[in-house]
């Protein structure tokens, strides 16, 4: 690789930087087929930019760029780059190679047609995977243990990265995803002949060395120690012959495959690389095979990190109701965090960034409503990107999503900051005064996306807010329906001033000063807003002075 072609993007710890300046990737992923046609690309990218996003994620499909073996056509990739640049977006290409959503439908025809050269995975078929139905046309699933497949996939990925490295618009690409939601459904282990040969062969010494370093919380390390912590032997001899051993074996297999593909591409263009995860276990999918066995699921994250060092980020696709535990698991140990796919839930953006995430992406971004909470939040966050990254770098970015019966506490500069849902507090206060205010009718909330599309769901009704501690006495807050209270053990503290903000021409412009009754609702109920809160601190006096104090407790 020539020095002049070295990427300006790099991952510095948990921070993504361009030319030494930290950035946030905030936007969405287009639908899987959008990036197959120039007109669809332009329409989707224009809509993404119009929603206030700064980043778009889009597939690059192996079957389209290498329709015949050795003949590459990167015209669609060129259009992705040019359209992203024209719309002022950063572009994260998603390499849909040998595996996408635990299948191989994006592998070229010349691969899928040659079953002798590219063998299929074999399963017992005793597990009915999610999102399937009886009588459906069989989906091709290639064996991850095929040496011909990994060589062909890696060759294509290397050609793609070579094209990217030579492109004049390469700097719009901060990150490249390798494959998509890899793993095996319908069984916990591939039973094909190539897979069985490796299952029966000695476990590689390098992986046994990794097992020795796994923590006591590691599933792989635990079952290895349960079977005597042996230094040699087959997979069954070292790990047993149940679903846990199968998942570790498949994780090693898929991580090894992805590492070979990623390393070939990184050798010509070392931009940060990621792999995304279909979550497991999750509600209704508690065993491998119900979710893709061998993918970077929570039980085998340590296996992936040990076996695939070329991958900088393991990223969760979040389609569960409670995102916080998922974000905590994938950010554990100060691991860099990015959410490449998520339902349109504004509170999950806040949860991700408050946990140190470098970005968040909604799936099906071109379907997002312009008046949705997600779009409103994206507009403010991308406008305030400099404020957010500066606060994050100094440990002064906080936030949470808060349900109606919840509260969160944040401690900063000697203050305890309590976050509560304003609407729920209002109903409680009215009830205390003898006035009943009904809760919102379930299911009546506006949807975040267009009616009828796959990711359409009731709007995220949680209160949420990101807080930038600008100083010990000033907070910038971006959010919705959030009440903020402050307390201090060091003396009296009160809210001194609250001012509404809007972001115009690259700067914050002050609006109304809120006081009196308006202090009860500093952020809007039905849209995203911003305020600056100034705090007044004073030391508690040891004794009253200057006359008698008014006793407000007596008539």
CATH of the domain at 20: 3.20.20.80
Which residues is 180 bridged to in the sheet? 100
Residue pair 94/29 in contact by the 8 Å Cβ criterion: yes
Q: What pLDDT is attached to residue 431? A: 59
Considering the domain architecture, whether residues 142 and 235 belong to the same structural domain is answered as yes
pLDDT at 547: 45
Q: Are residues 120 and 253 in the same domain?
A: yes
**Quick one: pLDDT at residue 526?**
87
pLDDT of residue 39: 98
How many C-beta atoms lie closer than 10 Å to residue 542's C-beta? 6
Domain boundary among 321, 345, 368: 368
pLDDT at position 445, please?
42
- In a domain, residue 428? The reply is yes
Q: What pLDDT is stored for residue 548 in this prediction?
A: 44
pLDDT computed for residue 429 by the predictor: 64
| β-bridge pairing 415-421 and 407-412 | antiparallel
Total of domains in the chain: 2
- Whether 386 maps to a domain, the answer reads no
Give the separation between CA 103 and CA 401, rounded to whole angstroms. 35
Instruction: Give me the pLDDT at residue 546, please.
Output: 47
Q: Report how far apart, in Å, the C-alpha atoms of 62 and of each of 104, 178, 259, 310, 411 are.
A: 10, 11, 17, 20, 49
Task: Specify the pLDDT at position 89.
Answer: 98
Q: Is residue 441 located within the same domain as residue 311?
A: no
pLDDT of residue 138: 84
- Contact call for residues 303 and 277 (beta carbons, < 8 A): no
Determine which helix (DSSP H) or strand (DSSP E) holds 362, and give its type and residue range. strand 359-363
Whether 393 maps to a domain, the answer reads: no
Boundary of a domain, candidates 368, 388, 421: 368
Tokens of 355: 């946990």
pLDDT for 68 equals 98
What pLDDT was estimated at residue 133?
78
Beta strands in 24-119 (DSSP E): 25-29, 55-61, 90-100
Say yes or no: 159 and 59 in one domain: yes
Tokens of 42: 């332009």
- What is the model's pLDDT at position 447? 62
What does the pLDDT read at residue 424? 82
pLDDT for residue 286 = 94
pLDDT at 519 (0 to 100): 81
Q: Are the beta carbons of 330 and 301 closer than 8 angstroms?
A: yes
Question: CA-to-CA distance for 497 and 378, rounded, in angstroms?
Answer: 26
Q: Is residue 352 part of a domain?
A: yes
DSSP 8-state assignment for residue 458: B
Structural domain of residue 410, as residue ranges? 400-538
**Statement to judge: residues 224 and 286 lie in one domain:** yes
Residue-level pLDDT at 136: 82
The values of phi and psi at residue 113, to 5°, are: -80, -20
Instruction: Mark whether 285 and 417 lie in a shared domain.
Output: no
Residue at token pair 């906080």: 398
Tell me: do 415 and 346 sit in the same domain.
no
Q: Is there a domain that residue 488 lies in?
A: yes
> Are 191 and 112 members of one domain?
yes
Q: Which residue ranges in the chain fall short of pLDDT 50?
A: 1-4, 441-445, 451-452, 454, 543-555
How far is CA 139 from each of CA 102, 127, 285, 402, 481, rounded to the nearest angstrom? Answer: 10, 15, 20, 41, 45
Q: Residue 453: what pLDDT?
A: 53
Q: What pTM, to 2 d.p., does this model score? A: 0.93
Handedness of CA 129, 132, 136, 139 (dihedral sign): negative
Where are the strands (E) in 384-541, listed by range?
397-402, 407-412, 415-421, 463-471, 474-480, 482-488, 492-504, 507-514, 529-538
Q: Return the axis-axis angle of helices 219-226 and 205-213, rounded to nearest 10°.
A: 100
For residue 320, what are its two tokens?
Answer: 């569960």
Give the E-state strand segments of 36-89 in sequence order.
55-61
């Amino acid at each position: 690789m020539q020095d002049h072609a070295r990427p300006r993007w790099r991952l510095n710890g948990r921070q993504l930087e361009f030319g030494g300046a930290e950035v946030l990737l905030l936007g969405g992923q287009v639908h899987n087929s959008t990036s197959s046609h120039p007109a669809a690309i332009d329409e989707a990218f224009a809509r993404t930019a119009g929603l206030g996003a700064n980043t778009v994620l889009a597939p690059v499909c192996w079957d389209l760029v290498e329709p015949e073996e050795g003949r590459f056509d990167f015209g669609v990739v060129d259009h992705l780059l040019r359209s992203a640049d024209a719309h002022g977006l950063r572009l994260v290409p998603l390499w849909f190679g040998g595996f996408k959503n635990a299948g191989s439908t994006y592998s070229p025809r010349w691969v899928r047609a040659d079953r002798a050269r590219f063998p299929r995975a074999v399963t017992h078929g005793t597990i009915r995977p999610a999102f399937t139905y009886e009588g459906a046309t069989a989906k091709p699933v290639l064996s991850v243990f095929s040496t011909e497949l990994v060589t062909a996939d890696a060759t294509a990925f290397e050609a793609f990265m070579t094209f990217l490295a030579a492109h004049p618009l390469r700097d719009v690409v901060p990150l490249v995803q390798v494959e998509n939601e890899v793993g095996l459904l319908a069984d916990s282990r591939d039973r094909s002949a190539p897979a069985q040969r490796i299952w029966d062969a000695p476990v590689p010494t390098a992986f046994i060395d990794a097992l020795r370093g796994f923590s006591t919380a590691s599933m792989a390390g635990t079952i290895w120690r349960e079977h005597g912590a042996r230094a040699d032997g087959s997979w069954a001899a070292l790990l047993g012959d149940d679903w846990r051993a199968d998942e570790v074996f498949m994780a090693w297999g898929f991580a090894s495959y992805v590492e070979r593909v990623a390393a070939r591409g990184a050798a010509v263009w070392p931009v940060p690389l990621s792999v995304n995860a279909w979550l497991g276990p999750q509600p209704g999918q508690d065993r491998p095979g119900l979710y893709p066995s061998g993918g970077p699921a929570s039980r085998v994250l340590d296996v992936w990190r040990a076996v695939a060092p070329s991958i900088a980020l393991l990223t969760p696709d979040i389609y569960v109701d409670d995102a916080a535990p998922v974000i905590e698991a994938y950010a554990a140990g100060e691991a860099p965090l990015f959410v490449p796919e998520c339902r349109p839930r504004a509170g999950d953006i806040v949860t991700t960034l408050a946990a140190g995430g470098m970005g968040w992406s909604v799936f099906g971004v071109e379907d997002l409503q312009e008046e949705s909470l997600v779009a409103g939040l994206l507009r403010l966050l991308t406008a305030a990107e400099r404020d957010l990254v500066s606060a994050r770098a100094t440990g002064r970015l906080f936030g949470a999503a808060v349900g109606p019966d919840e509260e969160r506490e944040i401690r900063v500069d000697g203050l305890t900051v309590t976050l509560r849902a304003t609407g729920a507090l209002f109903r409680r206060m009215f009830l205390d005064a003898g006035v009943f205010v009904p809760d919102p009718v379930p299911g009546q909330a506006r949807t975040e996306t267009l009616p009828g599309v796959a990711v359409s769901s009731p709007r995220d009704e949680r209160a949420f807010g990101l807080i930038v501690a600008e100083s010990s006495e000033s907070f910038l807050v971006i959010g919705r329906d959030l009440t903020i209270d402050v307390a201090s053990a060091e003396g009296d503290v009160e809210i001194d001033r609250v001012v509404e903000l809007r972001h115009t021409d690259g700067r914050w412009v002050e609006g109304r000063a809120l006081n009196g009754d308006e202090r009860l609702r500093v952020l809007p109920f039905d849209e995203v807003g911003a305020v600056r809160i100034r705090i007044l601190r004073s030391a508690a006096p040891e004794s009253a002075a200057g006359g008698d104090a008014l006793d407000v407790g007596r008539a």
